[in-house]
Structure formats: C-alpha cells, structure tokens
Structure 1
Amino acid sequence: MPNAEIILSERNPFDLTLKGVDKNFRLAIEEPTGFGRGTTKESQDLMRAMMTAHLLAPTMPENIYTNFDFHFSELLDAMYEYYGKKKPRIMKIGEGRVQPKIAGEADPEQSLRVATSHSGGLDSVYRIAKLLENKETPLAVHLRNLNFKGNAWEAEASREQCESWGVPYLQVKLRNSSGSTGFDTMKTRDLLLALVVAIQGAPNNVNQVLIEGGMGSDPRNYHFSESIEVWSWFNGLLKDIGLDVEVVGVDPGDIETIGEIIDLEKQLGITILPMVQNCFSAPFQMPNNRRKWERETPTIAQNSSDHWCGSCHKCRRMTLGRLFYHDPRLSGVSGEERGYFVKDTYDWIRKYPHNADLLSGSFMTHLELLGGIN
C-alpha cells in the first residue's frame, strides 16, 4: 500500500479510520467517553499518533494523508526505520482540520501511585499480587478489544478479580477493526497499551505504569514495542509531554511464577489462581477440550478454573506449575493423573511441534522433573 488516508472523527478525538481500497479499518476509544480528560494536548496528540501507528503497522505505506494535525511523526519514523523502511511522508487532506474536543473536565480521583495493565491472565495477576504483597494498591486498567476474541470473557474475569482483591478497576473499551493481528499487532501493542494506561491513570496521579516485560534489543527477535531502546526513548517522551510517569516492564518468569503465586495466596489470604483468565481456547471450544481431562484427570479438572481447557499451552503451563509446586487444591491428585498429564503433554509437543516455540526452558525442565516424581 503506497498511500493511506487516516480520517479522524469529528465527534470523538480518539476515533481513527484507515481508508482502504476494499474496506476501511477503524480504531476508536469508545469508553470511557471522557478518556483523556485532565491530560495535556500533547498527550492527546501522542495518543492519536500511537493509534495511527497501530493502524499502519501491517502495511507501512509510503505516503500518509490525514484530516487532522499530525504530531509526533518521530514515532512513525522510528517504527519504519526499525523494520528497515523509509520514513513516511505525512500530508494533510484539504484546508480544514478536524479538531474534536474532549467533553467535560477531569474529576478528582483517588490518588494511586501505580497503575498496571490488566488482562486477567497469569502475568498481570502476578503484578497485582506482588504489589499487594508490598502494601501497594494499584489501579488496574483493562484495555478491552485489543485482541479479536474472548474480549467479553476477559473483561468480566478482570473485573471479578479486582473486586475480589479490593483493587480499583477501570475498563477502556476499543472499537477495533484495525486489521492489526498476529505479529503485526505486536509491532505497537505494548506501546499502545502503556499509553492508554498512563492517560487513564493521570487523574489518579499515577507515576508508574507496569506492563508485561520480556523486552530485548535484537530487531530480529523483538518487535518495535518490545525493544529496550524504544522504551527508553518512549519514557523520555512521556515526560516531555507532561505525563510524569515511567513505564516498567515486569518479567515474572514462567513456571516458577505459579509457585510464587501459591505462596502469595497463603501470605495475603486471598484466592488468585482459580480466578486467572488463562485459556487460549474460545469459550465454545472449552467444553469439548475439557471433556478428556474430566475423564482422565478428574481431580485436576474439578479443581481448575472455569477459564481452563486443559490442552492449550497456557492451561498446561498452569497445571504443570500447580502440580510441581504443590497447590493444596490439587493435593488429592493421584500419581496416575499426574503421569497422564506428563505423558499427554509430551505427546502434544510431538504431535504439534509448532507448540515448542511457545514453551520455555523452564516449562520443559519442570515437565521433566515432574515426570520423575514417584
């Protein structure tokens, strides 16, 4: 795609449409309607630039036409250069410029030092648990519809978790037909997520935003939004635009994390693991996927989350950690059930070799050790 038009809605300052040849692609922040209140104009300009980058990531066109004043072209320049592309040209459409306003003023909010992106999955749950361990109550921000499936389920699980733990929870809802999926969405996903959390947390005086870690420096192995150098630049940019906040990536590890959460449940006196939104299976697939485990490993199945199919790599990760680190809820699991899980997981890896790319060294080490337990 050599050319692209990005059209900003006249009613919503965070509603962008990429006009395509055969179809349009849209990315909009629908809720809360006052998203961005109390932040600087520069913060809002950066949000639009980030949304534009997310829309353009799959195609990276050479020429970009907008109906609004586009600021922070350096963001697009950096993304294009990271992937070996020539910097794009950004031009205006017509004489008029769309400048929608945010309605209302920011209401005073509870002052909270830390905000964390919260998907309801194991890593985001771990971040909250560690903060609670340190007597820190965070603001949990869930960005709904960033992915293309399981969104209502994730949002409900996230809300229930935070209510149970006494953690303030806010949902930012996207309308997302951006066309940015798979590896394309990873190009900008974490930056988009962090900026949404930072802006949503501004009325709470948040000065630190926690997101998933696992960043690196090699462009061959890490996407733009996973680059350590990009994050260093981005944190400096946030300060420059008046968001006094630092984004920190938290890398909890893998199977060891589950053992740590089991200990935190005891220490904090709260239930965590059964509430984790952990599964890669679509809701309609889950009953069929669970049936085998209910038959072959009934104790494991009966004591697993409603968000557990048993068979995807995330659910196997959860079961492996709970068995290895002696989750008391699985104390009644027999050697036969444990052995079935280990054998079936090895068979699954052999049958679907592409899954090996999703499994860490920690996973394989713990699986081998669990298989050796009598």
Structure 2
Amino acid sequence: MPLALKFAKHILKFKFDAGTSRGVLKTKEAWILKVCRKDDPKIFGLGEVSTIERLSFDYSVDFEAEFEDLKKSLSQEELPSSKEGIFKLVSRVVSEFRPAIRFGLETALLDLFHGGNFKIFDNSFYNSEKGIPINGLIWMGEKDFMKKQIDEKLKLGFKCIKLKIGAIDFDAECELLKYIRAQYPADQLILRVDANGAFITQDVLKKLDQLAAFELHSIEQPIMPKQPEAMQLVCEKSKVPIALDEELIGVFGKREKTELLRDIKPDYIILKPSLLGGFAATAEWIEIAESQNIGWWITSALESNVGLNAICQFTNEYDYVGHQGLGTGQLFENNIHSPLAIQGEEIVFNQTLSWDFGDLKFN
C-alpha cells in the first residue's frame, strides 16, 4: 500500500540566549514529518527535519514546497521490508543535497517500520536497559554565566565537559579553563572545547599552544571549514587533538569523504546525522574514519526530542567509547515532551514516560 506524508512546523524557543561564535540563537525552526500507509493512518512514524541557520547545508530551502513534492513521490512507494531498503528508498526520493530531509524521512520510515512506537532501532537504549554517557555542554556568554553553567554540570556529576569558546575574550576563556583545572585535574575530568571556526589561521597555532596547558581532550573546528591545507597543517602541528565538525557538512559521496579525512588527518570527527544526511550517511563516515584510525563521537544539533531520540537510538547501535554530545534537548522551553531524560551524566529512554505533542497540527 502506498505511503502518505503529512508535516507540521514547530518553532523551538531557547531557555536562554544560546551564544555561539556565529551569533546568538533565540529560536530554532523544526519540521515534524508524519508517514503512514494510506490504508492505515492510525499507525504512523515520525521524523524531524532540523536545520540551523547559516550552518546546515540546506537551511535556506523552501521546505513546504519540498514536502509537497515528497508527498507525490511517496504516494508511488511502499514501505520497504528492511532497514537497508528504507535507506535506498530515501536516497532515491530525496536528493543528497537535502541532508535534513533525508534525516527526517529515514527516521519516520524506520519508526513506521517498527510499528510506530518511536522505536527507530531495536536496541538496549530504546528498551530502557542502557544509558549513553554524554558531555555537559557549556554555552558561550559572559564569564559569570559560563562559570555558573560549569559549576552546575560538575555538581550533577558530569565527568566530561564541553565549552563553546571563541565569542568572549580569549584570555577570559583561558581563565575559565584554568578555574576548572584547579579543581579537577585531567584524570578526574575530561575537557573538550568547541571553537566553531572562531580562530583565524594566522594565530591559531599560538592559541592552541596556550590551550594545551589545560590538558584538553580535543578542540572542535578551530578554524573555519573549507581551508583543507590550513586545517591539515593545524592537525599536524597542534599540541591539542583536533576534531572536525563543520568541515564535514556538505561533503557527499564515499570518495569525497575518504579523501577529506585522508588529506587532513584529524584525530577525531564529530558526527551530526541531521546535518550530514541521516543515518546511512553517518554510518559511512564512521566506516571511513575507523578504516583510517580516526576517532569519532556523535552529537545532536539542536533537534527537538523527536530528532534527539532517533540519534540516541542510532548511537546505541555502536560499541562506542567515550562521551557523546546528546544533551541539547534540555535547551528548549517548549520541547516536545518525551521519555528522554538526563540521569547523572547519561541520557536515558524512560519508557514509563509518555510523548506529548501538544497542539501540533499536521498538514
């Protein structure tokens, strides 16, 4: 029986002004896709199309027009009988240049495939048997605001903290790192920083030398992406391990991915399925990275709990080592209520809790 698609727009509101090196975020647009068989609308799967302005490859797309076209395409398709079939279907009906839509459609179809119970992958996370360790995320802002966040995360028991840097005075940021290390040495607390491309190439190595004093686990995207020769030099010379993040966005095809990692030689890559084109694309990045002995971890990208749930379940498909970046669901005052919860430094799926979509209306 052919498939039917509906969609709804949801504007997520941040609990505070979320500062990054690209500016301050106050709201974020999300689209929720609803897919069912035309003859059985009561059983449906949900997925999220999530973009970030000036970061996502397809953030400026007219999504309503795209979804109307997708409706027509899906009306000629049936639900595949396997996960692999779902990935092939998505790659056939959605261009690789629409990574956010691929992520949302993969999620909705996998949910429908498993009976429409928010099960994207049948594993120990969904079955409430296992949580996923995550890093505590510290957002940019005034020094006192950042210090308050740090203290709160440490009190909650986080063993890995990630700081956004590059927006306030660099010396003040170093003072924050010094403050943390004075209380928690490297064998007690893992420190990650994310520059979001804030450093300029002329002095990035000097700043990385200064940051090395704080025994950092890694720094994400120290310089702006699409400077492969400069980034390769940074990876070669830096005393702090380098993780690529924005560098991966807009890179499609196994050959292009392989060449990028081979040429730049980072220590780690950061994987955001909603920015990279979904789970099939993310799995390909993991395969390539592991073949080159490059570490990786998975991160959410400001999705609502619909997208975050799917990413957590995907993450649990791997025998991952280390802390993942899956705590951003706490940032919104009007997030979709879900069974996702933070317990200590882990995100868990508590099946005793329910989903609640409020007054969300599907077209």
TM-score normalised by structure 1 residue count: 0.24
Larger radius of gyration, structure 1 or 2? 1
